[in-house]
Structure 1
Amino acid sequence: MRFIPFLVGFLLSVATSAHQYINEFQQRPTPIELNDGTYDKITSTPRDYHVAILLTALEAQYGCSQCRSFQPEWELIAQSWNKGIKPDGIKLAFGTLDFSNGRSIFQKVRANSGLGEHSDLPISAEQCYAWMNRHLPDGHKPPLVRPVNYLRLISAITILMGLVALVSVVGPYVLPIIRNRNLWAVVSLIFILLFTSGHMFNHIRKVPYVASNGKGGITYFAGGFSNQLGMETQIIAAIYGTLSFAIIVLALKVPRIVDSRAQQLAVIIWGTILFGMYSFLLSVFRVKNGGYPFFLPPF
């Protein structure tokens, strides 16, 4: 059997046959525990007060996790109301009836109201309190006040102080690294190459890594601009990275070489790498678009 906590309440009439119960209830900071007998007495008519009763099942054998999680919220509502300034003309009593203490009441309420399992019931004190206020007469209501969680507050302050201490200790060593322009340039370049090569396309389309070429082998490049393979993305990213690195070296590093012969050799080497990788990139483009007329040797 599975239980969900639900509220029965806010019944109002004009007499005072159970008035002694409302005085007792309002003097307690938490909802009073009910059973079959006390439930019938406090909800009997006539009366001149409202009643909010939580029907729940807290014992582990019933397996109602929502009942146990909502119980502290219910007690918070009762505490806020009973300790707050009471509105004139509104008397409200809080009670809790556990299934173990009121089986007959559960059966009666279920039979009369058709209550079953509900998934849209309030699970926080704020939601439940707002629902209760909509069913009470208009007027000032005590505010819902959550107690200060000092353990959480102390933990937050401790963590904050630890972070401040950590930053003050490692800051002189970490800040120069974070502020390094070359580091950010490398990171930015990696992300640019990653996404311009088609990483997001692969992630969204869930493309295969390689494909069969129909002759017993595999192919690394898919024809057409709307098709792509995982290995193809990695190859293109490597080509873009090599081309970028070659240009950076030719523009920044080679001019700083003092030896003219070494500088000339570096220009030849990196120029050859640049020419060869761009030739290979054009050959890949021709695979993707068979009508592309241009190429560079050796590819």
Structure 2
Amino acid sequence: MKKFTLCVISILAIYMGLAGGQSRKPGLTLVERTQHLTDMYRNKAVLRFNSNKFKDYVKGTPRNYSMIVMFTALAPQRQCLICRHASDEYQIVSNSFKQTQGSSKKLYFAMVDFDEGSDVFQMMRLNTAPVFMHFPPKGKPQRADTMDISRVGVSAEEIAKWIVDRTDVQIHVMRPPNYLGTVAAIVLFGLVAGFLYLRRNNLDFLYNKSMWGMTAVFFCLTMISGQMWNHIRGPPFLHQGQNGQIAYIHGSSQGQFVVETYIIMVLNAAVVIGIILLTEAAKGKKDSKQTKIMAVTGLILVSVFFSLLLSIFRMKTQGYPYRLLFD
């Protein structure tokens, strides 16, 4: 009876083991994983992953390809100011890679949105967005596999440079043509030409020195504030840190934010106004009281706002030893 009972228990254990093995979902093989990615990559340059796809194609093994993943939060209610801009730049990089490399099986681009894979954020211990991470073919991501966007920004050129450092895959960034600047220039030229035509009998204002002087000063302030750099690099408007704090000044001398250029322009304008007041006071064409007011006001403007400019320069250039009024 004991032998019979043991035989029955053994048969049941074997049956339950087989049943359990049949219910366990086997993982994807390397060939299946690569083929699925290639098929998806034909339709989209950036693959959108939820938690299941992330585990299958990014964390799953074996892998013989690198995966660049952008963790983001694009939903309007998340109020991620930089996420949309970062997503556009990331799309430019992935499209450039797809156009130059074709359906390469060495590198893939993916995106995980917080609302589609919040458990992935918990798995990767992420509490901010956007984050760019490189997942190598073998091993776990190292510290350098996370892009330091607080230092270099999120421009397509910087993303491509970081990818080259991590994967040795060269990506020539090809931005789509932007005809907005050309159209704006044509419209502006047309308005100026039409205005001159209407005022063709009275063009004395063209000899107004004050108007040309203000135009030249505004042009100089625009150029030295970094507007041309913004036009070329396309930096974000500002940056939201990991703890939710907002950074208006870039922490490196190699980058800047759009709002930073406006701040620099205002500070430089205040210094220019101060110098103009000091110059007018030095001419002595006003009475003594007005001259003193202009001189004191100009001195305060130059001292305070130039000190602020120097302080920002010290913040962006580590090791710069000089300051005026502020640290």
Whether TM exceeds 0.5 here: the answer is no
> Where on the TM-score scale, by shorter chain, does this alignment land: which range?
0.3 to 0.5
TM superposition score normalised by structure 2: 0.38
TM-score, structure 1 length as denominator? 0.41
Bigger Rg, structure 1 or 2: 1
